[in-house]
Amino acid sequence: MNPLLSHFEYAPFSKIKNEHFFPAIQELITQTKVEIDTIANNSEKPTFKNTVEALDYTGLQLDRVTSIFYNLNSAETNDEIQKIAQEVSPLLSDFKNDLLLNEVLFNRVKEVYNKKDTLELSTEQQTLLEKQYKGFSRNGANLSEDKKETLRTIDTELSKLQLTFGENVLAETNAFELHLSDKNDLSGLPEGVIEMAAMTAKEKNKEGWVFTLDYPSYVPFVTYADSRELREKMSLAFGAKAFQNNEFDNQENVLKIVSLRHQRAELLGYSSHAHFTLEERMAKTSEKVIDFSEELLEKAKPAAQKEFNELESFAKELDGLDHLEKWDGSYYSEKLKQKLFSLDDEQLKPYFKLEKVINGVFIVANKLYDLNFEEVSDIDTYHEEVKTYRVTNNEGDLVSIFYADFHPRAGKRGGAWMTSFKPQYIQDNTNERPHISIVCNFTKPTESKPSLLTFNEVTTLFHEFGHALHGMLADTTYKGLSGTSVYWDFVELPSQILENWCYEKETLELFATHYQTNEVIPMELVEKIKASAAFQEGMKTLRQLSFGLLDMEWHSKDPSTIDSVKAFETHAFSETKLFPEVESNCMSTAFSHIFQGGYSAGYYSYKWAEVLDADAFAYFKEQGIFNKKIAKKFKDFVLSQGGTQDPMDLYVRFRGKQPNPEALLKRAGLLKD
């Protein structure tokens, strides 16, 4: 019996074998098609209930099984799962097109849509109707049959290419290791980093120390290693991922992906992929995104150049360096930060034991939203390291199931993300509660130390947990509008706003205690964290803007004349470049956010949402960061509402006014009070 084909409340990980996925997804596609055909061929006149609402409730089991599968492909993959993904993705792409190009079904939705002004629909129902109608009309429902076939071909090819892109990045990440046997090469590296490298070597049956391109290994190495030669080696390897003219090279994949996206957009009547994508974003147009980015660039660039010049002078003064290379940036920035603020991550890490930080974020969620977290062992997981929690409110009602997976593994892609194993929705008067997961790649425990996080890892945990809250507190009727089903440039608000609490004394005193002495983090360190928060913010802003502008360059114009990924990228970075160019490196070939994930023509969202989060947190600061009244407004108008209304309307209902970019510029130190 295939466990994926029977009803399950919790994802039945221990019962699932890889061979279950393909037949289960095939069968569930067939079942969902029957559900859809029943709606399309209904002899009754189309109504909101028998068409739009009915359509939203289709494919629940298919959605759950595919979310389980794709999360495993990201968090616990292997060659077999990757092979299945290549077989499954075209099936799902075809199915999606079968749905969106179903003329009979579209005509029923259109009929309801055309009389929407005469129907007494709630705001949520109006939004669902609008979303479904646009889903059809924006994705080819009005095309001729031959163009529909072209669209199908493009979508199938894209689904395969995007998977291959991600597989290549993971393969390249896993392929490189820096194996050291001379203790002198470890000069400058913190004890915990050395211990972790010894553990990695042991796992690989090697003597000495092994460093990898996984973030918890790579970032400390280029930040602390005194050997410039070895920093260069690591940095060049990191920057050359999928850009080495080998079997994992992504240059051709990048060009094919952008070309197919552009063809798709033109087929649908848009001048570029960005124009197609941004129609359903707060920003609306690529011109608006570019104007927004350039306005911030104007403020950030002089500050960034000044900071870079200071860093270069500091490196020259310290070590006689004539000019900085990319592999020097983190190293000398850390040294300068230590000099200016007498602060470094090694001072802070003992206060950020992973378990304490997890508990801290739970306390913050309790103080703001009355959530209670109980770790449980009776929920199935896909790996022994995954923790599971039951989340309840103060009345004891189940709010959510929460999964958390914290450390890097060979089968896990880099970075951090939030996902869902079950959506929230209301059906037959039952509010089905969501199952939410976060996946990270944090510093592992060693034989002598628990997992001690860098401050950056602390903010990452709060960031992903902010996304998780958006999922957990969802309270909408329809799954198509629930949780993080919002405009892409709004989805980062709940995650980014929560990062702000990490810098506040009131928060840090809740969980930042020394892992050996239990001493609360000293006030002077808290002050230093706050003082250093805007350190090199000009450079950080410039870097983030450079990624967003690169994304827009790839997706806002016709890419048919591009023959060199590297040359195109170099040109796109010309206005934001600080460090000398490295010919053997290319970012685009490993830019998974836009070529594998969902951020194409949307990377600007991080900065866009920063404007919202800085403005929203300023509101909390005015009233108190744990003010229950403000927290309730944020929960009621943002976290629980998903995509039920236009995001700016939701934001204004919470804040009382539109966001003011000045809050972000002040926080970043780019605008003085």
Residues with a catalytic annotation lie at 464
Report the run of H or E that residue 471 belongs to, with start and end. helix 455-472
CA distance 293 to 542: 10
Helix H or strand E encompassing 402: strand 398-405
- Closest C-alpha among 582, 550, 595 to residue 413: 595
Cα separation, 125 vs 417, in Å, equals: 30
* DSSP 8-state secondary structure symbol assigned to residue 419: E
Contact 178, 234 (CB under 8 A): yes
Angle at 541 between CA 418 and CA 216, to 5 degrees: 50
Alpha-carbon span 315 to 333, nearest angstrom: 9
For the chain, the residue count is 673
Tokens standing for residue 509: 């005193």
Give yes or no for a contact between 312 and 324, defined as CB atoms under 8 angstroms apart.
yes
Residue 222: what residue type? V
For residue 598 the two structure tokens come to 């969902």
Burial of 539 (0-12, 13-18, 19+ CB in 10 A): buried
Inter-residue contact 343 to 529 (CB < 8 Å): yes
The C-alpha atoms of residue 72 and residue 81 are separated, in whole angstroms, by 8
Residue identified by tokens 């976290």 is 639
> Which phi and psi (to 5°) does residue 622 adopt?
-60, -35
Q: What is the DSSP string of 208-260?
A: SEEE-SSHHHHHHHHHH---HHHHHHHHHHHHTTT-SSSTT--HHHHHHHHHH
Distance (Å, rounded) from C-alpha 606 to C-alpha 611? 9
CA proximity to 533, closest of 625, 661, 339, 669:
669
- HSE value, Cβ hemisphere, 13 Å, CA-based, for 63: 15
262's tokens: 């552009």
For residue 452, count CB atoms less than 10 angstroms from its CB and return exposed for 0-12, middle for 13-18, buried for 19 or more. buried
Question: Rg for the chain (alpha carbons), in Å?
Answer: 25
**Cα(514)–Cα(497) distance, integer angstroms:** 26
